[in-house]
Every structure is written in C-alpha cells, then in structure tokens.
Amino acid sequence: MSLITIDKASMGYEGKTIVRDLSLKINEGDYVCIVGENGSGKTTLMKCLLGLIQPLSGIVSYGDGLKQNEIGYLPQQTIFQKDFPASVDEVVMSGCLNKKNTLFYSREQKKTALENMEKTGILSIRKKCFRELSGGQKQRVLLSRALCATHKLLILDEPVTGLDPIATLDMYALIKNLNKSGITIIMVSHDITAAVNNASKILHLSKNDYFYGTAHQYLHSEIGKKFMITDCPCDVCQHEHSGGGVQQ
C-alpha cells in the first residue's frame, strides 16, 4: 500500500523551483534513502513531506490514513539540542505533544514512550540528563522521541552525522531493525555507499533530473555508476561475477 504519492510535483521557495516534476510512490515498509549533491533539493523535499512547505505545483498525497502530524521526524542535531537540560524521559515524552489533549501525558502515552525506549536500548539511562550523554546515546533518545509520534513512518535527516564509526554502525542497524518491524523509513544521507547497503530504494536528486528505484537498479544506472566505485553487492550480481550466471 502506498503511504506517500508524489505526482509531477515541483517544490521550492518564493516561486523558485528547486525540485522539478518529481513523481514517485513510497510504499508501506519501504526504506528509502534520499541522496544527491548539495543544493539538489533533499531538504526541500523533506520539508514538503512534513507539510512545512507546500508544493509549487503537482500533488503530494498520503495513504493508509497517514496524517502529516503522525510522521516521526529526527532532524539533524543542533547545538541547542545537544545541550538540552532535560532528562531522557522528558525528551522522549515530548514526542507525544502532538497527541496530547490535556496538561498531562496519558497512561497510554507513557507506555508508548517506555516501549520506544526499550526498542532503542535506552531504558537503563532514562533518568539521566540528556546533555550528559554520548553522541550515539543522544541520537537514540531523539529517535525514541520521533517514534512516539508515529507507528508508520519515520523521516530521518542525516541521523549519523558526528557519530563515531561504532555508533554509526549501531544506528544503521537500529534503523534497519525498525524498518523490519514494519516502520517505513525515509532517510536523507550524504553517504551513498551506506545508503545502498541499507536501503531498499534510492532517490538520487540532481539539479536537472532524478533517479528513483531499487538499490540494485541504482547501482546499474548511469548516475549510480558515476557515484559508486564498488561492485554491486547483491546476490544476483555476486552470482554473475562468480560465473554462475542468472537463472531464467
């Protein structure tokens, strides 16, 4: 089932088009990585998906009952976020604010927060101050917060920026596990190799065109060959390289 349908949509600011005539579908369970050069429109597209800006033309629609305020969003960390003087509990619970109808969090919202902290492996640090955590721990806290807003779709903006190699691998593994559990992932990334190794689909934006397809298709596309220097790691291509051929 399609969660997001983009039909001939152009996006930009004050009449200036940055993303032009984009058409694609993001289905339930997809793991989509958005890559491309600086200025190609990755941030513009992300803002449009979140409803922060409207398309200049064309249509962006949502399926399966998805609403824009039910999309979990993990932005790039800012200095303010890194030094936020609150407990892990408080930061994670703030992800429920869009669903909060009273001055207090409901029992169900508290239960959801605990479940999400368990999913991201931070239950043991829930009483600690956020600004005292390591970079990897902070990202897990913010990911838990984003999960409190949704059970369908996460949009992640460069979620491993500033993390050390081990924390980076841990974060990628966690995101992949969340996708396997049924959550659709849309991730903006500057690391094309990691995108291909983790995502099921790649959206590569450029200033004049775009590619959208599976990671395998991307590796065999003209734009994929331009940016990737390694052989395709998929099972089909590895079988071909070993001389086994492809069964028809």
Mark which of 92, 122, 151 sits at the end of a domain: 151
Give residue-wise pLDDT tens across range 37-74: 888 999 999 999 999 999 999 999 999 888 887 899 99
Report which of 50, 77, 45, 49 is spatially closest to residue 203, judged by C-alpha positions.
45
Q: Is 7 helix (H, G, I), strand (E, B) or coil?
A: strand
Mark which of 151, 168, 197 sits at the end of a domain: 151
Give residue-wise pLDDT tens across range 135-193: 999 999 999 999 999 989 999 999 999 899 999 999 999 999 999 999 999 999 999 99
Cβ-in-10-Å burial (0-12, 13-18, 19+) of 200 comes to: middle
Domain-embedded: residue 233: yes
- Return d(Cα 222, Cα 56) in angstroms, integer: 29
Indicate the DSSP class of residue 231. P
Q: Which residues pair with 155 in a beta bridge?
A: 73, 186
Domain-embedded: residue 130: yes
Domain count, the chain: 2
Same domain (yes/no): 51, 111: no
Q: What is the dihedral of CA 108, 111, 115, 116, to 10 degrees?
A: 70
Same domain (yes/no): 219, 202: yes
Domain-embedded: residue 50: yes
| 19: enclosing H helix or E strand | strand 16-27
- Return d(Cα 164, Cα 148) in angstroms, integer: 26
Mark which of 151, 168, 194 sits at the end of a domain: 151
Q: What is the pTM of this model?
A: 0.88
CATH of the domain at 15: 3.40.50.300
Give residue-wise pLDDT tens across range 109-135: 999 999 999 999 999 999 999 989 999
Question: In terms of pLDDT, which residue wins out, 104 or 33?
Answer: 33
